[in-house]
Amino acid sequence: MGDEIKEKIERLRKEIERHNYLYYVKSEPEISDYEFDRLLKELEKLETEHPEYYSPYSPTQRVGSDISKDLPPVTHKIPMLSLSNTYNRDELYEFDKRVKSGLPESEKVEYVTELKIDGLSIEALYRNGLIVQASTRGDGTVGEDITNNAKTIRALPLTVDYKKIPKFDLSEFYVRGEVFINKKDFEALNKERSERGEKLFANPRNSASGSLKLQDPKIVSKRKLDIFVYYLLSDNVEFESQYENLKILDELGFKVNPNYRLNKSIDEVLEYCNYWEEKRNELPYEIDGVVIKVNSIRQQNVLGNVAKSPRWAVAYKFKAEQAETVIEKITWQVGRTGVVTPVAELKPVFLMGSTISRATLHNFDEIKRKDIREGDFVIIEKGGDVIPKVVRVVGEKRPTGSQPTESPERCPVCGEPLFNPADEVGIYCENSKCPARIKGSITHFSSRQAMDIEGLGEAIVDVLVDKNLLTDYADIYELRNKEEDLIALERFGKKSVKNLFAAIERSKEQPFEKVLFALGIRFVGSGAAKKLARAFKNIDNLMAASNEEVESVPDIGPSISGSLKRFFSLNQNIEIIERLKKYGLNFELAEEELGNALAGKTFVLTGTLPNLTREKAKEIIEKNGGKVTGSVSKKTNFILAGESPGSKLEKGKALGVPVITEDDLMSMISEK
C-alpha cells in the first residue's frame, strides 16, 4: 500500500508541474483552473495523510512556511555585471566598432537581441535537478538570499530534468533571469491596495522588486510574480553561443522570452530595436529597451569585461514616450524630512500603458527655469524611472493673463513658516508635528535600517496616525497602554498586537548609531550616524558640539553640521529625545562598541561565512576599531573569506594580502 501511495504522490506531482509549465511558461493550458485546483487539493490531502513522503520540491510547497527576518548575503560565483547603455543609432554603431576592433579583422560578428524586461535580476542555483538557492543581483558581487520567495514564482521550476540533454553535464548550474509583474496583474494589485486604503505601487518594476524582498512568502505568492530566464552558467558546460544557451534553457523547461533574434549585422540589430520601440506598448509586460550580445561565447571571452560591464554586450534604451496635456493646478506636498515639493496636477492623459494625472516638478528652481504656470500646455514624459515629469511648456498655447508661479512662504499643511537654506534649492517645513511629516517620520523611525520594528510598515502607520494613536515616533513606546484600541482596529488581532509589542520592546536594544539615524535628521544617513556616534559617544555630547567640532569628523561637512544645529535648536525635537530616553532607548555608545582590537586595520569581505552575515561581520569589525572596504588594494590588511569567495580573494592573493577565516577574526578580537 505504501508503494502505491508514494507512486500516486509522485505521479500527481509530475502532472501538476507539467500543467504549471503549460500554463505559466508556454501559455497553453490543457485543463481549467478548477481541474488544476482539484489536482492540487488531492495532492495536499495525500501529503497531509502521509507526511513520510514530504518533499520541499513538491508543487504544494511553493509557498513555504519559513519566514526569515533577514535576507542573508549570497556571493555570486561569477559577478552579475551591469550593462552600459546606448541611446541612439550612432552610439549603437560605435559599440559595433569597438567590438570589431577587439577581434581579428577576419572574424564576422553576429549579435543576439533580447527584449530588456523592466524588472529585477535574480540568479538561481540548481543541483541535481533541484533548486537549492536563489538570490538578487545586489551590487553585482553580493546579493540577498530570496530562495523562499523565488519558489513562489510559478514559471520558475522547482525541479528540472538535468539529464534531458545527455551531451551536457548539468548536475550543477545557475540560471539568471528577470522577475517582473504583468501589466494586468499590476493593475489588479494596485486596485486591491486602493480598496484596502494602502499606498499604491509606483510601477510594476518597483512592486516586483519590493515583493521579492518581503519576509513572508505567503504574501509574495499573491503578487503573481513572473520571470523570463536569459542565461545558464555552469563550470561543467561550454556553450558555443548565446543563441544556443537560450535554446537549451527553453528545452530544459525554463521560461525564455520568445522575442529574441539572431542578427547578422548591426543594421539588423537597429531594425530590431526600432521595431520594438514602436511595438512595446502592445506587450503585456513592461520593457525599456533591447539587450544586444555578441553571439559567440568564444568572442565574448576574447572581448572580456571593463570595470563592471562586459565589452561584448550593451543595452539600447528606448526614448521616453511623451504626451501633451494641461496643468490644471500646481500643488505642494510635504515629505518625511519636511522638504516641500511641487506637483503638477494634470488633465488626465494616456501614456505608456497608463493614465497620468500628476507629474513631479522637482523644486521651485525648476519651475522658474522652465517658467511653468497653472493653465500651461506642457509636454510630459516617463523617463527611465517611470515617474512622469514635465519636459517643457508649449509656449504658443499659454492662455492670456497667465501669472508666474510663486514659491509658498508657509507650509501648505500645517501653516508654519517654511525655511529655505541659502545653499539649497529645496524649501522645508521644520515643524516635526506637521501632519504630513508625521507618517513618513514614523515609518522611517521603525524601518529595518533604523529601529527595526517589524509590523510597523507604511500601511499600519497610516492607520495608526489616522486614528490618532500615533502623533510622533515617540508615541510608539506608549502603544502598550492602548492595547484595546489596537485590537478593535479592523486589521489587528490579539496575536498581531502581541507581536507588535514584542518588536517595539526589542527595538530598545538598537545601538546608539541606529537610534541617531532613526531620528530622521536631514542629511544624517546611516553612515553619517555611525561616524557621529563613534566620534561623540552620546547624544548630549553631539548636541553640545559646535559646527567646527562636528565637521572635524571624517566625511562630515557643513550640510550635516548645519542640519544638526537646526534640529537640536527646536524645542519639540528635544522633547521627543527626552521622551525616548525615558522609554529606555540607547543614546550613548555601549561599552562593547568601544573596542580597539582592530584599530587601524582595513578588511575586505568575500564569500559566505559559516555563522555571521556580511552585515554582522562588518558591524563586529567596526565596533572593534577596524574598517571595511568594498575593494582590495595594497592598503588592505586582511581579507575575511568564507565559502564560495569571489574575485576579491584572487586579487588579494596576488597582492599578498593575508586571508583570514571567521574563527581567525574572533580570535583577533579576543586576544586584546
For cell 558591524, what's the residue? 619
Say how far apart CA 498 and CA 512 lie, in whole Å: 26
Say how far apart CA 457 and CA 443 lie, in whole Å: 6
Euclidean distance between the first and the last CA atom of the chain, given in angstroms as a whole number: 65
**Residues whose CB is less than 8 angstroms from the CB of residue 304 and which lie 6 or more positions away in sequence, other chains included:** 310, 311, 312
For residue 355, give the H/E element and its range.
strand 354-360
> What are the cell numbers at 231?
542565461
Say how far apart CA 56 and CA 52 lie, in whole Å: 12
User: Do residues 578 and 501 touch, judged by C-beta distance below 8 A?
Assistant: no
Report H helices in 73-216.
89-101, 147-150, 183-195, 204-212
Between vectors from CA 470 to CA 502 and to CA 495, what angle results, nearest 5°?
A: 30
Which SS3 state, helix, strand or coil, does residue 224 take? coil
For cell 553535464, what's the residue? 169
> What are the cell numbers at 450?
533604523
> What are the cell numbers at 619?
558591524
Q: Please choose, from the candidates 174, 175, 171, the residue with its C-alpha nearest in 3D space to the C-alpha of residue 161.
A: 171
Q: Name the phi and psi angles at 497, rounded to 5.
A: -70, -40
Say how far apart CA 626 and CA 611 lie, in whole Å: 20
Say how far apart CA 279 and CA 261 lie, in whole Å: 16
Catalytic residue chosen out of the listed positions 69, 77, 116, 293: 116
> What are the cell numbers at 663?
574563527
Written as one string, the DSSP assignment of 245-262 is HHHHHHHHT----TT-EE
> What are the cell numbers at 205?
518594476
> For residue 566, what are the CA distances in angstroms to 151, 250, 547, 559, 581?
49, 60, 11, 11, 20
User: Do residues 159 and 110 touch, judged by C-beta distance below 8 A?
Assistant: no
Which DSSP symbol is given to 159?
Answer: B
Give me the amino acid identity at 155. Answer: A
Report H helices in 178-336.
183-195, 204-212, 217-221, 242-252, 266-279, 297-303
Say how far apart CA 659 and CA 652 lie, in whole Å: 8
Residue 616 is among the residues annotated as catalytic for this protein: no
For residue 574, give the H/E element and its range.
helix 571-582
For 417-435, give one letter per residue: b (16+ CB within 10 A) or e.
ebeeeeeeebbbbbbbebe
Helix then strand then coil, % of the chain, to nearest 5 = 40, 20, 40
Q: At what angle do helices 89-101 and 266-279 cross, to 10 degrees?
A: 150
**Residues whose CB is less than 8 angstroms from the CB of residue 474 and which lie 6 or more positions away in sequence, other chains included:** 576, 579, 580, 583
Q: Enumerate the active-site residues.
A: 116
